Structure 1
């Protein structure tokens, strides 16, 4: 009986491993807003749903790193759902406090940008399987706002 259960578990595990899963990519990270508390960047995430039914997104958690340290982290709970057989764009706001940016002054230097690594985990609820996390990451440079941006 235990042998039969083991075979059944292996069969299900193989089928789940071979299932199509949603695919995601961080397409862009741009300056969104400058406020008293800090600077808000907007990460645009493109998510392709291979299924005909919509799939709920449980949460998106993120960690923004620069100069080998975390400068912002958090999560976006319940950002919506993925349309069936379609690509959905999701915006994730990331707030970086001014105090953190001041500590990165060496990295900012003359070009007025910061090198970053954005890591995200997109948690979706697949029918019959449950929650899965799709890992994402993107490296790049973010421009800091100019003085003109501060007084808009």
Structure 2
């Protein structure tokens, strides 16, 4: 699951108690939410269920969020929607011919929204014009109706239009639904690269920044990799 789509695989265990193999000719499926169609499709020639045997049939589906939002504009990012999947298994049984076996599954699926980020302040640990060690105090806001467990993030940061680099950071913290969490990110940069903007930073004036990257999170719906992106932000030096 990401911001663009949700790949879903439904495992269906099909048992055949008869002494003869039964071909699965087609599988039709329909996904609905509150009676509204989200997706439908057909899987042809789904295999054969062996005599007195059983098979796990995998049914892959992909929900494209933009398609859903174009059709149902009241479905908003960050929400959780209920779904019902209806299957029709079409089998060819000797003597009886073709039969349709219906099956339903219900559940919930998220429409994820990217987190909001803000560098609230930058604290110097060691300062020199050649190399400065500092800590970014980062605020992460979860705008989704479900909890997130942050596992890692990768990022690049620009201060006053100058890249101060980036890194991958392994960090474990929980971000409650519609809540926020704080992370301290260590950085090292060369203040002399900033030119005249350095003096504004030292005097405590607002410092412009941008930040881009991704976070890896666990959710009740599985793992997600979500982008983080902030342009034209303002932070302060302490």
Give the alignment's TM-score, normalised by structure 2. 0.45
User: Is the aligned partner of 1:81 residue 2:165?
Assistant: no
Segments of structure 1 that go 5 or more residues without pairing to the other structure are 146-152
Corresponding position of 2:229: 136
Alignment of 1:103 with 2:193, yes or no, is yes
> How far does residue 22 in structure 1 lie from its aligned partner after superposition?
4.7
Match of 2:212 among 110, 115, 119: 119
Q: Is 2:46 the counterpart of 1:46?
A: no
Question: C-alpha root-mean-square deviation of aligned residues, in Å?
Answer: 3.5
How far apart, CA to CA, are the structure 2 residues paired with 1:16 and 1:48?
A: 18
Taking the aligned partners of 1:5 and 1:68, their CA distance within structure 2 comes to 52
Contact 1:116 1:142 in 2 (8 A): yes
Alignment length, in residue pairs?
Answer: 138
Following superposition, the deviation at residue 42 of structure 1 comes to: 1.2
Q: Pick the structure with greater CA Rg.
A: 2
CA contact (8 A) 2:211 2:228 kept: no
Q: Is the 8 A contact 1:121 1:133 kept in 2?
A: yes
Partners of 1:61 and 1:76 within 8 A in 2: yes
Higher relative contact order (CA 8 A, sep 6+): 1
Change (3 A) 1:104 1:49: same
Deviation (angstroms), 1:20: 2.4
Asked if 1:25 is matched to 2:116, the reply is yes
Report how far residue 21 of structure 1 moved: 1.5
Higher helix share: 1
For structure 2, the 5+ residue unaligned runs are 1-25, 28-40, 45-58, 69-109
**What TM-score do you get using the length of structure 1 for normalisation?**
0.65
Judging by fraction of residues, say which structure has more strand: 2
